[in-house]
Structure formats: structure tokens, C-alpha cells
Amino acid sequence: MWVFKKLYDIGKGPLALVLGFGEVTIKRYLDGQVPSLEYSNIMKKALLSPDYFYKKLEENKNKITPASYKKSQEAVSNLQELFVLSDKMRQVIAYLFKGLNEVTPLMLQKLLYLIQGTSYALYDHPIFIDVSQAWVHGPVYPDVYHLFKQFSFNPIDDDRFVLFEELENTLSEEECHVIDLVIHTYGLYSTKVLETITHTQDPWISARKGYEGIIPSHEPIIEENIRNYFQTLHKQYDFSQREGINRYIHNIIM
């Protein structure tokens, strides 16, 4: 029950009416009784899809109080922000959250960019379709920034990520290998060190031309530049192994 409450700000009674269950029936399920396959599928779909829950909410809004409807409607609107990101981006973020104890928004941005570069280096293609921009403090994926900006410099702790549970299991072995390499190398360093690393890299530097110092920029970082740059690094250091990436990091920060 706590999952529905956290995601949709809705109690047992209103939830039963919205999903089309009897209140006694859903109380049994929420208290641990195994639901029928039909009801189980409805509950699972409602948990994993804010759009589906919103459809049920609209269909049955006259069955609950206006106050309950408004609270739940606002909660659904907040959840739908998550789905601005591509499916693959959400999967990668879910994997990072599972593999690291704490991730701040700034750290997340750097790791996502380095994952993209490492994928180009090893397999000659990106993991996700999202395009980064050359902001003052390094590469930034704008939709990811807006999603987590409320956490500022603090670790991200977001109940909405219950929607991403098991998403990391949809990644390929190749994709997991890339992310694991980044987690166990770059992921060991502070955000400041990661910023220093990305500030030495040509794709970000090239995209920042004409924007000196702290002048804001939303120029895209050209994907072909990322591909060429990281493939050059791979030839020099061998990015298929942690040792190679660690040698590269050491040469940058020492």
C-alpha cells in the first residue's frame, strides 16, 4: 500500500474505487492475500504506468472525493516527468542507482556522459539517444537535469524510482559491461574530479567555443566528436579494462 500512497498520494478506499475493486477486496490484497491474475495485472499495470493509472482515475473520479482526486492527479503529473527521458536513459539511470550508494545530480550527469563515450569507444555506437549540452560545469543532459534539480548538491533520493525497479534487468550484457566499467572507475571519484576530467576532453571544449568562463551555453555536444574522441582514448589506453580507464584518469588528475 505504501507504494501506491507514495506514488499516487491515494488511500486504500479511493484506490479500490479508482481501480474498480471492492474496498474489502483490495484491503485483503494489500494486507498480503494473493490477488487473482486479473486483479494482479491491473495493480501491476497501475504501478508501472502513470498513464494507465491516470486513465483509471479519470474514468472513476466521480466515485471519490474532489480532494482525493486532486491530490492523486497532481501526483500523477509529477510522475509523468520521468517519461520525458528515453527508455534507455531511464534503464541506465536505474542501473547506476543500483550500483552506487549515493549519486548527486552533478555526478549523475558526468557518469551518463562517460558511459556514452565508453560505449562509443568499445562498440562504436551510443547506449541512449539523448543528446548532451556543453554547460559551464561540463556535459549535461537537460531533461535529466530538470528531473533532479531539486536535489541540488545532495544525493538523489526519489520515491518515484520505484517505477524503475527491475528496469536495469532489461539492459544487454554489452550495455551492463560499459556501465560497470564506468561505475568501478569514474564512479570512485568525486564530482569535482569528474568535472575536471570532462573539462579536459575535446568534445566539451569544442562545443564551448565562444562561451568563455562562466558564460552559459546550451550548445549540443556533437555525437560524432564524442565517438571519435573516445575511440582515440581507447586505442591509447584500452578502455575495455578497468586498468586502462584508471591509467587515463590518473594521467588527467595527477
Choose among 122, 151, 140: nearest CA to 194. Answer: 140
Query: What does the DSSP 8-state code read for residue 31?
Result: T
CA dihedral angle for residue 224, residue 229, residue 230, residue 235, rounded to 10 degrees:
130
Nearest CA-CA partner of 21 in 40, 34, 1: 40
Distance of CA 110 to the CA centre of its chain: 13
Domain boundaries along the sequence of the chain: 2-80, 85-253
135 phi and psi, to 5 degrees? -85, 175
Spatial neighbors of 192 by CB under 8 A, at least 6 apart, are none
Q: 174-216, pLDDT tens digit by residue?
A: 999 999 999 999 999 999 999 999 999 999 999 999 998 899 9
pLDDT in tens, 19-69: 888 666 666 666 666 667 777 788 778 877 788 889 999 999 999 999 999
